Amino acid sequence: MSTDIQIHKPVPYDLAGKDLATFRVTSDIKSTIKGLRAGNPVLVTAFYSDGLLLLNEIKKDIKKKLPTKTFQEQRVFRAAYHKLSNLVLVKIEAHQLTLKKSPEIGWLQKLYPAMDSFLLSFPQVQGLNSAWQWYQNGISTPVLRNKIHPYYGTYFPTRFDHLILFDNWLKRYAGPKKSAIDVGIGSGVLSYQMVKHGFQKVFGTDTNPNAIVGLKEAMGDTKMSRKIELDFGSLFGAWENQTELIVFNPPWLPKAHDLDKNDEAIYYPKNLFPDFFAAAIKRLAPEGKLVILFSNLAQITGLTTTHPIEIELAKGNRFQLEKCLKKSVKQASDKTKRDQDWRAAEEVELWVLTKK
């Protein structure tokens, strides 16, 4: 694995040729939002809570103009909010936010060691703050004994139904356990599960450099670092050998817009599944199994009427279905602010394919 990996991090705001208005709690909200809609950035100058207030007012203003009842309407709303909120800026000096009563965010030192003074958007700062809390405190999952500590910009599961489905399948797996491949290893949960269930070696790949750097840091020189080998690359990366088990937990929604890096774990491009199946057939041992964790989310929310795994089985002439296990997801929390009635019909899926 290359040690010269450039991690992804929020890009400091470029103020070249732009005037910068300021905002504090006493500022006029309506004129500030009008300026944001005209594309003019604003710098929060007093308290961290002033920035939170402004973002909340932006949400209220957008809600007056855009409905948020359906899944698609929620996506449009989030895109509009993203555009305006990322014009709300915060100044960082000596790796600290310059606002009073700001949180301590260790990523500012860790990700920008050579930068003394720069600007980030308030949502970027919020993301860094949340990511620092998850990284420091760890996240518990029902399938692992130890917490995971996800690195900044790395996808980690916030729902666990598909992990439980995979864990139950691993308990019953009676095949060889010499090696496995985890395509898109992310925060490493699936690989940790396979090691827990006796796999001698797991080869994990990812196109996200933060996932590779973060897992390498998390494993250090422990026993786990000798069980899990990492490679920064797409699909199977540098791994050419055949293996007994290939595991893939791809994004569950088809890509409908340009993505920023953090969205690539959620939305899949058109060519992902054809490319994956074409590569997987070469790496799967004759009696091996290909396990894909997926969901019917895109179908029940009306984003697509097709299912990429069903398309492969019907037309690919490479794999055959051994079994498909399904599990209804838990209902949305009462605290959620999004309309998620569709979740009553959502199921996570575990597909087991073998070579024809």
Residue 40: phi and psi, rounded to 5, are -95, 120
Residue showing tokens 């310059």: 98
Residue 344: phi and psi, rounded to 5, are -65, -25
Per-residue pLDDT tens digits of the chain, which is 356 residues long: 445 688 999 999 887 667 789 999 999 999 999 999 999 999 999 999 999 999 999 999 999 888 878 878 888 889 999 999 999 999 999 999 999 999 999 999 999 999 989 999 999 999 999 999 999 999 999 999 999 999 999 989 888 999 999 999 999 999 999 999 999 999 999 999 999 999 999 999 999 999 999 999 999 999 999 999 999 999 999 999 999 999 999 987 776 655 444 455 567 688 899 999 999 999 999 999 999 999 888 777 777 778 899 999 999 899 999 999 998 886 544 444 444 555 567 889 999 999 99
What letter does residue 185 receive in the DSSP assignment? -
Cα gap 192→322, rounded to integer Å? 24
Q: Which two tokens stand for residue 132?
A: 């620092």
Helices (H), 173-222: 189-196, 209-219
**How much is the pLDDT for 109?**
95
**How much is the pLDDT for 277?**
96
What letter does residue 250 receive in the DSSP assignment? -
| Dihedral angle, C-alpha 220, 226, 231, 237, nearest 10 ° | -170
Cα gap 250→99, rounded to integer Å? 39
Cα gap 355→86, rounded to integer Å? 48
**How much is the pLDDT for 256?**
65
Cα gap 23→11, rounded to integer Å? 22
- CA 240 from chain centre, in angstroms, equals 26
Instruction: Give SS3 for 21.
Output: strand
> What are the E-state strand segments in the chain?
21-23, 42-44, 88-93, 96-97, 117-121, 180-183, 202-206, 228-232, 243-248, 253-254, 267-268, 284-295, 319-328, 347-355
Domains of the chain: which residue ranges? Answer: 21-135, 161-355
Instruction: Give SS3 for 141.
Output: coil
Burial 239-273 (b: 16+ CB within 10 A, else e): beeebbbbbbbbbbbbeeeeeeebebbebbeeebb
Cα gap 324→165, rounded to integer Å? 11
Cα gap 296→299, rounded to integer Å? 5
| Dihedral angle, C-alpha 75, 55, 150, 257, nearest 10 ° | 30
Contact 211, 187 (CB under 8 A): yes
Give the contacts of 20 (CB within 8 A, at least 6 positions apart): 41, 42, 43, 89
**How much is the pLDDT for 259?**
45
Cα gap 303→346, rounded to integer Å? 14
**How much is the pLDDT for 333?**
44
pTM, to two decimals: 0.84
**Helix, strand, coil percent content, the chain, rounded in steps of 5:** 35, 20, 40
CATH of region 161-355: 3.40.50.150
